[in-house]
A and B are shown apart, each in its own frame.
Chain A
Amino acid sequence: MALVEIRNVDKSFKREAQTVDVYNGLTIDFDEGSYTALMGPSGSGKSTLLNLVAGLDKPTSGTVRVAGAEVSAMTASQLADWRARTIGFVFQSYNLLPVLTAHQNVELPLLLTNLNKKERAERTAIALGVVGLSDRMDHFPRQLSGGQEQRVAIARAIVADPTLILLDEPTGQLDAKSSEEVLELLRRLNEEFHKTIMIVTHDAKAAEHAKTILHLEKGVLLEREGVKMGGGIGTSGAVGVAG
């Protein structure tokens, strides 16, 4: 069953006087429980795709639906509420709030829920436990290694039990060992906790952990494995058309 449905999406940016097309009629589905790696050179539209799915950006035309909700039609306020419930986002540079402890950073999305303090503390502890950082709760980001920071960021992304986890170059700033730890964690989240994951990466090794790899170049899907496109798996060649 498709969790993410992207239909006939056009996306273009205005750059000074020029209009730059990223996608032209992109249609693609991502199944619930899937783990997809999006690869491709810089400027190919990988991160833009994540932003569209997360409702951080709007398509020029076309629709983006996630778990039945039409993201592309929501107002900013609706999107904020929806993101808090549905999306977990992980960035390349971790983007933890430096003034908050690991515990407080992970708790941040829960502040937007109706949970009381005790419930928030319990959930936060569980999330930090999942990423193996129960003993680093009271550490500030500056007191953590890069790999630990990224694991805290992943805990923040999963603490509200989102439907979909989006990761933009999550291993881009990590050494090999830390990368492996993070990727193993993602595999567990997908296999044990059945989280749907979309990961943007330049790293082929990181992509190998995913069940499906998509290669994007100038908004065009070049290779695909196990991805529903158009009406079904491999039934349509019109995944993306470069402008």
Chain B
Amino acid sequence: MKFLPLVIANLKRHKLRTILTICSVALALFLFASLRTVTTTLSAGSEVSSASRMITQNATAFVIPLPQTYATRLAAVPHVQLVTWANWFGGKYGDGKKFFAQFAIDPESYLKIYPEIQIPADQKEAFLKERSSAIIGEGLVRAFGWKVGDNVTIQGTIFPGDWTFTIRGIYHPTLKEYGDDSFMFHYDYLYEKYPDRVTPGWFIMKIDDPAASPVVAKTIDDQFRNSSAPTKTGTEKAFASGFASMWGNVKLLMSTIGMAVVFAILLVTANAMMMNQRERTSEVAVMKTVGFSDRRVFGLVIIEAAVISLTGAVLGLGAAILLPIVTGFGQGGFLPGFHVTGGTLFIGASVALLLTVASGIFPAWQAARLPVVQALRRVE
């Protein structure tokens, strides 16, 4: 600790350079953590998906709906215990700057199939009774300040018009990966306004045996193969993975960009550290003359590098943690549960340590190996 003032004084020698170097490290780790969080969030979505839920969508494209009549036929398929359906609404609230997902659902069956959606019993009852009511996640309460009993008007884009809903419940997901930023309302409310256009966007089935899912999928898809709306059925996990795969090879892309950024910053930091040491050749020689050993000089340079890297890491990783909280990024249902995981923080901290070693070791080694007499002769 007694050497800390010396380390701090050296860091303050070129304040701007030190600040910029710390900012570089912070930016690198912020990008690294944020990009990695995109991949972990995508993965988490499929990891937490239930194996006992299956989804049937239009085989042609996810955005093309399916006939309502399929519900009863799906319910008749062996192993299927319960069927529900949902539809993408795609409206906007206010100026539309804060986007969130809205789904039209069949309330009773949907809430049975998704026990992860926790809602107080009285609120659930009120929601089920009132056709124009809606339930919202806690994330929307934070974002808009809505509360139970509020009337909320959403402008329809796919289904034009002003749609006013009364909020009757606020749900809390048992797993944050499910997200708490969706707006759900009665499918019937949508249907009664556009009976000619509204049909389910996709069906969700609860099956009694996850091991039977391939058979169930085949049975369903075979049943509708020659119809006007052929289906594509899979487990919810496969559906989530398929959704993630729409992003392309996101993981590889994100990892590559993240690593490239870290490597570039490593070079910048190492260069700044080496510049610092080159400018201080005479001072290192003086310190050695005073009695500082090679090992101690080495340690001091490494500590300087550590202060820069770890300060940058705290700022960068801290910013990555705060990003979804402050900006509301991740709302809208595309990346529900977007948050920096412990694993990402651990890797980020490890990268910072690696940065310390990689950027500090060469200048530290140079300083430790500096021949005092030659260095002094250069100065004197």
CB pair A89 B289 closer than 8 Å: yes
With A91-B380, A100-B6, A104-B9 known as contacts, the answer to whether A56 contacts B372 (CB < 8 A) is yes
Q: Which of A83, A97, A112, A160 sits near B283, CB closer than 8 Å? A: A97
Chain A residues within 8 Å of B289, by CB: 54, 56, 83, 87, 89
Stretch of B171-179, B292-300, B342-350 with 4 or more beta carbons under 8 angstroms from chain A: B292-300
CB pair B376 A80 closer than 8 Å: no
CB pair A81 B373 closer than 8 Å: no
Give, as a whole number of angstroms, the nearest-CB distance from B294 to chain A: 6
Residue B3 at the chain A interface, CB threshold 8 Å: yes
CB pair A93 B380 closer than 8 Å: yes
CB pair A109 B9 closer than 8 Å: no
The complex places the Cα of A203 from the Cα of B365 at a distance, in Å, of 39
Chain B residues within 8 Å of A99, by CB: 9-10, 12-13
For the complex, would chain B's binding face be called helix, strand, loop or mixed by DSSP majority?
helix
Question: Counting chain B CB atoms within 10 Å of each CB, which of A56, A77, A117, A160 scores highest?
Answer: A56
With A76-B294, A77-B295, A100-B9 known as contacts, the answer to whether A92 contacts B380 (CB < 8 A) is yes
Residue A161 at the chain B interface, CB threshold 8 Å: no
CB pair B373 A108 closer than 8 Å: no
Q: Which of A89, A111, A160 sits near B2, CB closer than 8 Å? A: A111
With A51-B373, A92-B380, A93-B380 known as contacts, the answer to whether A108 contacts B295 (CB < 8 A) is no
Within 8 A of A (CB), among B244-291: 282-283, 286-291
Residue A57 at the chain B interface, CB threshold 8 Å: yes
Give, as a whole number of angstroms, the nearest-CB distance from B355 to chain A: 24
Closest B residue to A162 using CB positions: B291
Within 8 A of B (CB), among A91-123: 91-93, 95, 97-100, 104, 108-109, 111-112, 117, 120
Closest B residue to A153 using CB positions: B286
Interface size, A (range): 20 to 34
CB-based A-B contact count at 8 angstroms:
76
Residue A84 at the chain B interface, CB threshold 8 Å: yes
CB pair A109 B379 closer than 8 Å: no
CB pair A95 B282 closer than 8 Å: yes
For the complex, would chain A's binding face be called helix, strand, loop or mixed by DSSP majority?
helix
Q: Which of A104, A108, A168 sits near B287, CB closer than 8 Å? A: A108
Residue A156 at the chain B interface, CB threshold 8 Å: yes
Q: Which of B3, B13, B291, B373 sits near A83, CB closer than 8 Å? A: B291
Residue A211 at the chain B interface, CB threshold 8 Å: no
Residue B5 at the chain A interface, CB threshold 8 Å: yes
Residue A202 at the chain B interface, CB threshold 8 Å: no
Chain B residues within 8 Å of A91, by CB: 286, 376, 379-380
Chain A residues within 8 Å of B294, by CB: 76-77, 80
CB pair A112 B5 closer than 8 Å: no
Within 8 A of A (CB), among B294-352: 294-296
Closest A residue to B287 using CB positions: A108
Give, as a whole number of angstroms, the nearest-CB distance from B122 to chain A: 64
Closest A residue to B13 using CB positions: A99
Query: 0/1 per residue, B1-29, Cβ < 8 Å to A?
Result: 01101100110110000000000000000
Residue A85 at the chain B interface, CB threshold 8 Å: yes
Chain B residues within 8 Å of A111, by CB: 2-3, 6
Chain B residues within 8 Å of A95, by CB: 282-283, 286, 379
CB pair A108 B9 closer than 8 Å: no
The complex places the Cα of A52 from the Cα of B228 at a distance, in Å, of 98
Give, as a whole number of angstroms, the nearest-CB distance from B3 to chain A: 6
CB pair A85 B291 closer than 8 Å: yes
Q: Which of B5, B283, B372 sits near A104, CB closer than 8 Å? A: B5
With A56-B373, A99-B12 known as contacts, the answer to whether A80 contacts B380 (CB < 8 A) is no
Chain B residues within 8 Å of A160, by CB: 291
A-B contact list, 29 entries, CB within 8 Å: A51-B373, A56-B288, A56-B372, A56-B373, A76-B293, A77-B295, A80-B291, A80-B294, A81-B291, A81-B293, A84-B292, A89-B290, A91-B286, A91-B379, A93-B379, A93-B380, A95-B282, A97-B283, A97-B286, A99-B10, A99-B12, A99-B13, A108-B287, A111-B2, A111-B3, A112-B291, A117-B2, A120-B2, A156-B290
List the 3 shortest-distance A-B pairs measured between CB atoms, nearest first. Answer: A84-B291, A80-B293, A99-B9
New contact pairs (7) apart from A93-B380, A117-B2, CB-CB < 8 Å: A77-B295, A80-B294, A81-B293, A85-B291, A97-B283, A99-B9, A111-B6
Residues of B within 8 A of A (CB): 2-3, 5-6, 9-10, 12-13, 282-283, 286-296, 372-373, 376, 379-380
